[in-house]
Amino acid sequence: DGANARDAIDYRGTQVTPVKDQGPYGTCWSFGFVETVEGLGARQGRALTNVSNQEVIDCCPTCRGSAQDASFGFVVVGDERPRGRLATEASYPYRGDPGRCRRVTAPRRLAPAR
């Protein structure tokens, strides 16, 4: 029964962050993962927050170019950062090129558990 269905739903600003530009780098896999984390967190009632693509790029070399399951595993294990938390984009900004993983004590956001 589609009698009450909407013609369109706009999730901008409520469940998705603004569009990001990966530039000339092959980092699309990190954007897919980070957008999923941001959106799932918002759907679970957390504040919509930009989290760091660069932290995932730098700190999870096994995630590069892979499916999201490796990236979620990286978040759950939490070797270099508090388990289940990713740095915010403001505290670990995007550069594109993979670099050395650096510890960040600045604000972090809890990744969705489910």
Q: Is the pLDDT of residue 20 over 80?
A: yes
- Under a CB-based contact definition with an 8 Å cutoff, are residues 64 and 106 in contact? no
Residue environment code for 75-114, b if the CB has 16+ CB neighbours within 10 A, otherwise e: beeeeebeeebbbbbeebebebebeebeebeeebbbbbee
- Under a CB-based contact definition with an 8 Å cutoff, are residues 14 and 42 in contact? yes
pLDDT for res 114: 43
CATH number for 28-110 (one of 3.40.50.1010, 2.40.50.140, 3.90.70.10, 3.40.50.300): it is: 3.90.70.10
When mean pLDDT is compared across 1-5, 6-10, 27-31, 37-41, the lowest value belongs to: 1-5
Q: Is the pTM of this model over 0.85?
A: no
- Under a CB-based contact definition with an 8 Å cutoff, are residues 25 and 96 in contact? yes
